[in-house]
Chains A and B, each alone.
Chain A
Amino acid sequence: GEDVEQSLFLSVREGDSSVINCTYTDSSSTYLYWYKQEPGAGLQLLTYIFSNMDMKQDQRLTVLLNKKDKHLSLRIADTQTGDSAIYFCAENVAAGNKLTFGGGTRVLVKP
């Protein structure tokens, strides 16, 4: 079955690194995604990783994928107040790009 889980909340100081974790259950996932949602807005696609990769880096963002443990993480370096948002991980397991989303992690960046 499909199930994606994330912790609910993360608090971090400005300038520190944030690490948001996600676990998923379907080993047939082809792509895994990270989305960001700011208050009152839709979801913004931040980055994604193909399932045959271990790591992907994109500026301040680093995605790590451990397929054996079905664990995905998003690291944000030098976290800024503008990074305060809800972050969702999602997996793509079916044709047509249907996604299963985690419940979201609310990240609060303190000055």
Chain B
Amino acid sequence: DVKVTQSSRYLVKRTGEKVFLECVQDMDHENMFWYRQDPGLGLRLIYFSYDVKMKEKGDIPEGYSVSREKKERFSLILESASTNQTSMYLCASSAQGLGQFFGPGTRLTVL
């Protein structure tokens, strides 16, 4: 079975802090994705990556950056966390044509 893990289930940070959310997949998938999920807004794509060291902006990249130094790991970085970044963050990975497989999510609260 595909396994996608995220570094934390719950995270509380303060405004202005730098935040790292880590995602690791064990199926050698080329593609990896970061979403945020908010009530009434559904899933919104922040960034995705088709290969190591490659990244593409999604629908809402502002305030975020990403890093993909190794194929299995895709990191989401909040350079200076703000309260409007309080959300559920979901990581996913995929190979061609198989759909995306999601991690359990990280619920981030920014105070």
Contact = CB atoms under 8 A, between A and B. Distances in A.
A29 B90 CA distance: 23
Interface string B95-110: 1111111111101000
**Majority SS at the chain B contact face:** strand
A44 B94 CA distance: 13
Residues of B in contact with A, size category: 20 to 34
Interface stretch (A17-25, A67-75, A91-99): A91-99
Contacts of A48: 99
A65 B50 CA distance: 29
Contacts, number: 56
Interface residues of A, number: 22
Contacts of A88: 42-43
B66 to A, nearest CB: 15
Contacts of B95: 97
